[in-house]
Amino acid sequence: MVFHLLRQNDAFLRSFGEAITYLKANLFTCAECGNISNSDPCPICKDQMRDRHTLCVVESIDDLVSFEQAGIYGGLYHVLGARVSPLDDQELSDSDIEFFLNHIKNLRAAEVIIATNPRMEGDLTYFTLLDILKDRLRDKIEKGELKVSRLAFGLPVGGSIEFADRLTLHTALESRTNAARL
């Protein structure tokens, strides 16, 4: 990257430097879903054409971008920005959990698709979210007002959503299963 920059002229380097300087100043974290974009709420949350009662929970913005680039999903997202990983001493904080539950309530979501990565940390995050949903929204799940599903194992175990191809993502999304059948 440095060698590429050294080949550019001074004007380009000046404007590139300015763009980097203002990069953070022009980016906002969406108060509804946790996505990062140049507006709050983000363009996805503002889009009234999307299915506003289906919420796809992802670990990171990279995963959200992969779904969007594949063009296979028309609902909204919830970006956890965190995961459960005992080896790295990471877990979901109380504020992560409240942010997630409030998003479900505010949207009156009919389905939550848990799209964590198919590896150990993703599994642990999935089971943690499932326990929270069963505990806090048991009524809605029992009445059939809230469906909780999970991506099927169409994704390579040990891989990541970020690097999955469109077909694999599509298959995994289509074959999701009902996770919280009580």
Sign of CA dihedral 85, 91, 96, 101: positive
Distance, CA of 9 to CA of 178 (rounded, Å) = 56
Interface pattern 88-127 for Zn ion (x via CB under 5 A): ----------------------------------------
Contact (Cβ atoms closer than 8 angstroms) between residue 136 and residue 90: no
Residue written as tokens 């920005």? 81
Distance, CA of 30 to CA of 90 (rounded, Å) = 22
Q: Which stretch binds Zn ion (CB under 5 A): 31-39, 59-67, 95-103, 160-168?
A: 31-39
Contact (Cβ atoms closer than 8 angstroms) between residue 151 and residue 113: yes
- When asked if residue 30 is in the footprint of Zn ion (CB under 5 A), the reply is yes
- When asked if residue 78 is in the footprint of Zn ion (CB under 5 A), the reply is no
Nearer to Zn ion by Cβ, of 32 and 180: the residue is 32
Distance, CA of 164 to CA of 106 (rounded, Å) = 31
Selected from 33, 124, 155, 169, the binder of Zn ion by CB under 5 A is 33
- When asked if residue 35 is in the footprint of Zn ion (CB under 5 A), the reply is yes
Nearest CA among 107, 98, 102 for reference residue 75: 107
Selected from 3, 25, 45, 71, the binder of Zn ion by CB under 5 A is 45
- When asked if residue 57 is in the footprint of Zn ion (CB under 5 A), the reply is no
Q: Which stretch binds Zn ion (CB under 5 A): 42-50, 91-99, 117-125, 163-171?
A: 42-50
Q: Which stretch binds Zn ion (CB under 5 A): 7-15, 27-35, 110-118, 174-182?
A: 27-35
Distance, CA of 142 to CA of 140 (rounded, Å) = 6
Selected from 6, 16, 19, 42, the binder of Zn ion by CB under 5 A is 42
Selected from 14, 32, 69, 84, the binder of Zn ion by CB under 5 A is 32
Distance, CA of 146 to CA of 10 (rounded, Å) = 57
Where does this chain bind Zn ion (CB under 5 A)? 30, 32-33, 35, 41-42, 45
